Amino acid sequence: MLNKYNKNAQSTLLQVKSITKKFGEFYANDTINLSINAGRVHALLGENGAGKSTLVKMMYGALQPTSGTIHWQGNEVSIASPAHARDLGIGMVFQHFSLFEALTVVENISLALPPELRQGDLSHRIADLSQDYGLPLNPAALVADLSVGERQRIEIVRCLLQQPKLLIMDEPTAVLTPQEAQALFATLRRLVEEGCAVLYISHRLEEVKQICHDATILRHGKLVAEVDPQEETAATLAQLMVGASVHKVSRDNNDQVGDVLLELSNLYQNSSTPFGVDLVDVNLQVKSGEILAVAGIAGNGQGELFGVISGEECNPNQNAISLLGQAGDGLNINQRRCLGAAFVPEERMGHGAVEHLSLTDNILLSRHGCIDTHSPLDRGWLGIDKKQLAQLNQVIGADYDVRKSKEDAAAGSLSGGNLQKFVVGRELNRKPKVLVINQPTWGVDAGAAALIRQAVIDLSRQGSAILIISQDLDEIFELADTIAVMSRGQLSPIYAAGDLTREQIGLMMAGSHEQSDFNSNLDAGA
């Protein structure tokens, strides 16, 4: 039960007063005032591009404000760097981990600590502290061998060793099973009982209601609301974030399933990287009109699965992959696109889009291999029809609400959520017969997530076969007709979505289907 009136919630730790941050003429933050109190979990909410990341980067010393002031424990401060922030007592756990896979837990933690905290038996301190806070770690373990949940523990323990008074967490449950998320919440409750403050950034509004005492909502760089999340619903919080009612995803009964358009048969695939995961005897079918979701904790072979289906990784068995009735062996990614397939990778920047290229050039990158005389982008000997390409960029931007500083902006100038909308919209615009999409709504706000999910459902109901790879169970249950779970390169049997609970999927994500008693555990809901 959430303790609304923590006995340690007495003092204001951090205040920002009239904070403004400009990039050129663009206001990322516009005269924001915010107070964070000890002993409370404070949610920072907003759409993609609302200014959340900019604000916390100024609190953590990674950016400097254009104007306004920051006050720490009543004194005005200029936080010059993240090291200075940590000296003050501000720690941050980023959404994307900064760990070296070839090093051990203790080596990774040591690299980030000041010299005085590296002295003595650091391994013993890590083991004791991690056990005490319910985040058990083996200091000698190699990071490459750890699950994503365990890797997040390293980041948290690294912060806790520095005894922070304020802990900033960015999307902390995005890579966790439901069971791991509940364990994290127990740790956060322990911290606030001890007087620590937590600034919590998340797009998962039900968990905000579960653990947060206060919520500040940003929209277009401005503070638009400060509310008690316990007195709001997830829908009203989302409405405050976007300034309008969030579209409710509509999903009709799936009675139009047709032929198998994507099939993997006894697929084995060795990882091409030293710390990757080998795929072991993977079998699946995705039919026309069907959405199959593959759940799993990151780093369990999902990237390798995406690579071998998309053609980025070669598979020696010509009978292992069938795509739209053709053997996938020997077909590169452009040839698979020309058959009618489309692919959205997990990494939007660098993999899904090239940072320094314009949006129109990024559209061309995924279409150039299939431009022929039947394509609207073809002008014969004159080359590419740039007018059509510009119109296509406008259509994608309008259909998927891609917000940008100018019409044909560089991909790297978009916020993460807006780039995700662009990359997904670029592929859905092609109306592919097979769509493989890895983390469809990673890091996007509630409004954008609803937009993307509805578009995916609509495409499937038009006859496309869709394979979703996702760690978000809310997303999986909203989208999927059928569900399988991947753990350590092995894929579970495929189940109808209505036959599984969140808890059962959580067990499977932890590897229960690798055990001989998998089916008995699943039937028991253990």
What is the pLDDT, as a whole number, of residue 212? 96
pLDDT at res. 381: 46
CATH class of 12-242: alpha beta
Q: Which residues is 219 bridged to in the sheet?
A: 222
Look at residues 104, 97, 207, 210 and name the one whose alpha carbon lies nearest to residue 159: 97
Q: Which amino acid is at 273?
A: T
Question: By the 8 A CB rule, do 421 and 403 touch?
Answer: no
- HSE-up of 489 (CA within 13 Å, CB side)? 15
CB-based contacts of 458, cutoff 8 Å, min separation 6: none
Task: Name, in order, each residue with C-beta under 8 angstroms of 93's C-beta and a sequence gap of 6 or more.
Answer: 152, 155, 156, 159, 167, 168, 169, 170, 172
String of b and e for 417-428 (b: at least 16 CB within 10 Å)?
Answer: bbbbbbbbbbbb
Q: Identify the CA nearest to 435 among candidates 420, 457, 450.
A: 457
Long-range contacts of 134-140 (CB under 8 A, 24+ apart): 134/183, 134/186, 134/187, 134/190, 135/183, 135/187, 137/105, 138/105, 139/104, 139/105, 139/106, 139/109, 140/104, 140/105, 140/106
Calculate the alpha carbon distances from 374 to 261, 282, 378 in Å.
24, 37, 8
Half-sphere exposure of 472 (CA within 13 A, CB side): 24
12-23 and 67-72 strand pairing: antiparallel
Handedness of CA 52, 148, 508, 510 (dihedral sign): negative
pLDDT at 232: 93
Q: How far apart are CA 376 and CA 378, in angstroms?
A: 6
Instruction: Say if residues 385 and 436 touch (Cβ distance below 8 Å).
Output: no
User: Do 63 and 138 meet the contact criterion of CB atoms below 8 Å apart?
Assistant: no
Count, in order, helices (H) and strands (E) of the chain.
18, 21
Phi, psi dihedrals of residue 386, rounded to the nearest 5°: -70, -25
Q: List helix spans (H) across 243-326.
A: 302-310
Euclidean distance between CA atoms 266 and 282, whole angstroms? 5
Q: Helices 416-428 & 386-399, crossing angle to 10 degrees?
A: 120
pLDDT in tens, the chain (526 residues): 444 444 444 589 999 999 999 988 889 999 999 999 999 999 999 987 788 989 999 999 999 999 999 999 999 999 999 999 999 999 998 876 788 888 999 999 999 888 888 777 899 999 999 888 888 889 999 888 787 678 888 988 998 898 899 999 988 877 676 777 888 899 899 999 999 999 999 888 889 999 999 999 999 899 999 999 999 998 899 889 888 766 778 777 767 788 999 999 999 999 887 777 899 999 999 999 999 999 988 778 998 999 999 998 888 777 899 999 888 777 888 889 989 999 999 888 888 899 899 999 999 888 877 765 446 665 554 457 788 888 999 999 999 888 887 889 999 888 777 888 999 999 999 899 999 999 898 767 778 888 899 999 999 999 999 999 998 888 899 999 999 999 989 999 999 999 998 888 888 887 766 644 444 444 444 4
Task: Determine the Cα–Cα distance for residues 431 and 273; give it in Å rounded to an integer.
Answer: 33
Indicate where the chain has its CATH 3.40.50.300 domain(s). Answer: 12-242, 247-340+433-444+463-526
pTM: 0.72
Q: Which CATH superfamily is domain 247-340+433-444+463-526 in?
A: P-loop containing nucleotide triphosphate hydrolases (3.40.50.300)
Sequence-separated (6 or more) residues with CB below 8 Å from residue 219: 46, 47, 50, 240, 241, 242, 243
